Chain A
Amino acid sequence: MKEKGWKECLWGGLIVDAGNSVLYKTGDWRSQKPIRDEKKCTDCLQCWIMCPDAAIKVKDGKVVGIDYDYCKGCGICSKVCPFDAIEMKEEGEQ
């Protein structure tokens, strides 16, 4: 996003584009990458409710992937998964 000059800023520092933080990809912070094993996953959604970055993608009650655009690689999903379905790997290793 192009930086704004003060004259273009809205009065009171308003941001009217709700949720535009998605334009800022935090995925490049990551040094460890969560890899999910579909075969082990039971779609219990523990990882989804505990992810600080809403990076576990769920559709119709099932995990459909990890959003690497935003995942910061904290490893919480891997720790909370009761079925050991998420493994943390060194970024760039796979």
Chain B
Amino acid sequence: MVSLKKLSEKEELLAPGHRLCAGCGASIIVRQVLLAAEDPVVIANATGCLEVATTIYPYTAWRVPWIHSAFENAAATIAGVETMYQVKKRKGEITRDIKFLAFGGDGGTYDIGIQALSGALERGHDILYICYNNGAYMNTGIQRSSATPKGASTTTSPAGKVIPGKRRFPKDLTAIVAAHNIPYCGQTSPSFYNDLIGKVQKALSAEGPTFLNIISPCPRGWRHETDQSIAMAEEAVTCCFWPLYEVENGEWRLTGYSKQIAEGKKEKTSVIDWMRKQGRFRHLFTDARKPFLDSIQEEVEREWENLKKRCGY
């Protein structure tokens, strides 16, 4: 268990005055991640909401060394910095321990940055890559990404008479990352800060490449009130759309609330109820779209059952 009192004594490394929207999940995630880190960190950031809104020139919200180069190469950038560090350490020019992190949104991770990510994972760099996943290109005005949930209306998967929003399910990036056989990866949610902080600390103490996929509510793109962000990220977990789990040296394990659901200690909620609270799914609640809506619930069930099996249930 994380002691909030202890954590609150640490320096705030993401300064206020950044221009992420009110209620944005990304800054909650970054704050929790930076509070979890015990060593100094260096960060690379892919293009996206977080990058743009935290570093509007000539301002920066980061109180740690931070680099932005392009949309697609946060993983390659941090891999290069980490390599330089290893060389300097070997030569005795740096003696202290430093951790290397990259942040990318789902656009910069699932789509545009997947090649750089896959390369860095395979080469074995000692980095932690964090995807703050809000399920669309929010920064440019809500375009669908390969992380956008099925049925969500975006400007490039607009709901209308014919199109029911995005027609495809999001790809399972966490499983794709796990297939690189890295020491540690997993999924978490800022609503369960114990789970999130525990996983960041585990990832940072592992040697080699690690990855966390973190669900990040976006009041603008998900179309919910700004005060609902934490509730939305929580219900995503309780309805099993976003299960909490980790893969450590090839061993799949459910954690926290998801583990309790699998063990019958907590109630699983309905995906459709979670969707009903978000305007991006509003168009699905008609009689004609009921079969489509049901197919989403079924798919989430199937994925959840598969995950349970992988985790030994």
A interface residue numbers (CB < 8 A to B) = 1, 3-4, 9, 13, 15, 17-26, 29-30, 44-46, 48-55, 58, 61, 67, 69-70, 72-76, 78-80, 88
Q: A24-B59, A75-B226, A76-B230 are in contact. Are A52 and B20 (CB under 8 A)?
A: yes
Contact A24 B22 (CB under 8 A): no
State the CA gap A60–B18 with chains docked (Å). Answer: 25
Chain B residue at minimum C-beta to C-beta distance from A18: B63
Contact A21 B16 (CB under 8 A): yes
A-contacting residues, B19-47, CB 8 Å: 19-28, 31-32, 35
B15 lies within 8 A of chain A by Cβ? yes
A to B CB contacts below 8 Å, 27 in the list: A15-B58, A18-B60, A18-B64, A20-B58, A20-B59, A20-B60, A21-B59, A22-B16, A26-B16, A26-B17, A44-B4, A45-B5, A48-B4, A49-B193, A50-B230, A52-B23, A52-B25, A52-B28, A52-B229, A53-B27, A55-B16, A58-B8, A67-B16, A72-B226, A75-B23, A76-B230, A79-B231
Tell me the smallest distance from the CB of A27 to a CB of chain B, in Å. 9
B14 lies within 8 A of chain A by Cβ? yes
Tell me the smallest distance from the CB of A87 to a CB of chain B, in Å. 12
B interface residue numbers (CB < 8 A to A) = 4-5, 7-9, 12, 14-28, 31-32, 35, 54-64, 190, 193, 219, 225-231
State the CA gap A27–B120 with chains docked (Å). Answer: 40
Partner of A79, one of B24, B63, B193, B230: B230
Tell me the smallest distance from the CB of B81 to a CB of chain A, in Å. 15
State the CA gap A29–B226 with chains docked (Å). Answer: 13
Chain A residue at minimum C-beta to C-beta distance from B194: A49
Chain A residue at minimum C-beta to C-beta distance from B197: A49
Contacts of A46 on B, CB cut-off 8 Å? 4
Q: Which of A21, A25, A29, A51 has the most CB of B within 10 A?
A: A21
Tell me the smallest distance from the CB of B134 to a CB of chain A, in Å. 13
State the CA gap A45–B194 with chains docked (Å). Answer: 13
Contact B24 A52 (CB under 8 A): yes
State the CA gap A58–B35 with chains docked (Å). Answer: 14
Chain B residue at minimum C-beta to C-beta distance from A50: B230
Contacts of B26 on A, CB cut-off 8 Å? 52
Contact A76 B8 (CB under 8 A): no
State the CA gap A21–B57 with chains docked (Å). Answer: 9
